[in-house]
A and B are shown apart, each in its own frame.
Chain A
Amino acid sequence: QVQLVQSGAEVKKPGASVKVSCKVSGYTLTELSMHWVRQAPGKGLEWMGNFDPEHGGSIYAQKFQHRVTMTEDPSTDTAYMELSSLRSEDTALYYCATPVVLPALDYWGQGTLVTVSS
Chain B
Amino acid sequence: NFMLTQPHSVSESPGKTVTISCTRSSGSIASNSVQWFQQRPGSSPTTMIYEDNRRPSGVPDRFSGSIDNSSNSASLTISGLKTEDEADYYCQSYDNNNRNWLFGGGTKLTVL
Stretch in contact with the other chain, from B14-22, B23-31, B66-74, B101-109: B101-109
> With A45-B90, A102-B47, A104-B47 known to touch, is A62 a contact of B98 (CB < 8 Å)?
yes
**For residues 54 through 112 of chain B, which have their beta carbon under 8 Å from a beta carbon of chain A?**
56, 88, 90, 92, 98-106
Residues of A contacting B46 in the complex (Cβ-Cβ under 8 angstroms): 108
- A52 beta carbon closer than 8 Å to chain B: yes
Q: How far is the CB of A23 from chain B (nearest CB, A)?
A: 15
Is A95 in the interface zone, CB < 8 Å from B? yes
**Which chain B residue lies CB-closest to A61?**
B100
A44 touches B (CB below 8 Å) = yes
Closest to B54 in A: A102
**Complex Cα spacing A44 to B92, Å:** 12
Of the candidates A59, A61, A102, the one whose C-beta lies within 8 Å of that of B50 is A102
State whether A44 and B100 are in contact (beta carbons under 8 Å apart), knowing that A95-B44, A106-B47, A109-B44 are contacts in the complex: no
Whose C-beta in chain A lies nearest to the C-beta of B99?
A59
Bits for B43-54, please: 1 = Cβ < 8 Å to A, else 0: 011110011000
State in angstroms the CA–CA spacing of A80 and B5 once bound together. 30
A44 B51 Cβ-Cβ under 8 A: no
A59-118, CB < 8 A from B: 59, 61-62, 95, 97, 101-106, 108-111
**A47→B47 contact, CB < 8 A:** no
Residues of B within 8 Å of A111, CB to CB, are 44
Q: Which of A52, A61, A105 contacts B92 (CB 8 A)?
A: A105
Residues of B whose CB lies within 8 Å of any CB of A are 33, 35, 37, 39, 44-47, 50-51, 56, 88, 90, 92, 98-106
